[in-house]
Every structure is written in C-alpha cells, then in structure tokens.
Amino acid sequence: QVQLVESGGGLVQAGGSLRLSCVASGRIFSLNGVGWYRQVPGKQRELVARITGSGTTTYADSVKGRFTISRDNAKNTWYLQMNILKPEDTAVYSCNVLANGYSYWGQGTQVTVSS
C-alpha cells in the first residue's frame, strides 16, 4: 500500500512562489507517472503537470513557463514549483501516483493566491 502526503500549500500574494511536495510511503516498484492536479469548488479537477517514470514532463497551457514538476527518486518525493502565481491558481492541489498497477491520491493541500 502506498500513501501520499502533500505539503507546501498556503497563502501567497500574486506574483509569489510556492513549492508543493508529495511524499510517498510504501514500496513503489513499478512507476508509471505522477501528476499534480488542482480543483476548485464547482469545477472539474484539472491536470496541472505530469512527469512519467522516465522523466518526461507535460504541463497544462495555463501553467507553462511558471510551474515545474520534478522528482527525487531516492526520497520517493515529487515537487511542484509554482512561480509567478496568479489568483486563478487558487485551488486544492493533489498529487496522483500511478504505480504498482494502482492509482494513489493524496489528501490535497490548499493554495490561495491573493490579488
């Protein structure tokens, strides 16, 4: 069983930065990929960034050039560096790990960007 814990969210002014972390506990022996998603009430969950097991990254158009997804394999940790934050980035951010034939979700961390 793999459990995920996100951290790093908070309140920041527009133009500021935050770095989210997603730490996995448990054994990961077959990693397909990791995605950061965000959701605001009343809207569908949105894929923000993804990194495959081989390290290929993709981003939503709305965050390209501002957000960077990365990983520390030794620590089973994935990061989302968010720069030049905008009020429209306000959401609950969650990480999703596709591994061992399963899909795992963390509990989410709130990011609030004030104007």
Separation between Cα atoms, residue 77 and residue 38, nearest integer Å? 18
Average pLDDT of the chain to the nearest whole number:
96
Tell me the sheet residues that pair with 97: 34, 104
Residue-level pLDDT at 1: 87
One-letter amino acid at 89 equals D
**pLDDT tens per residue, range 17-61:** 999 999 999 988 889 999 999 999 999 999 999 999 999 999 999
Residue 9 pLDDT more than 90? yes
Q: Which residue has the tokens 């997804």?
A: 69
Q: Is the pLDDT assigned to residue 73 strictly greater than 90? A: no
Q: How far apart are CA 1 and CA 93, in angstroms?
A: 22
Predicted confidence band at 83 (pLDDT cuts at 50, 70, 90)?
very high
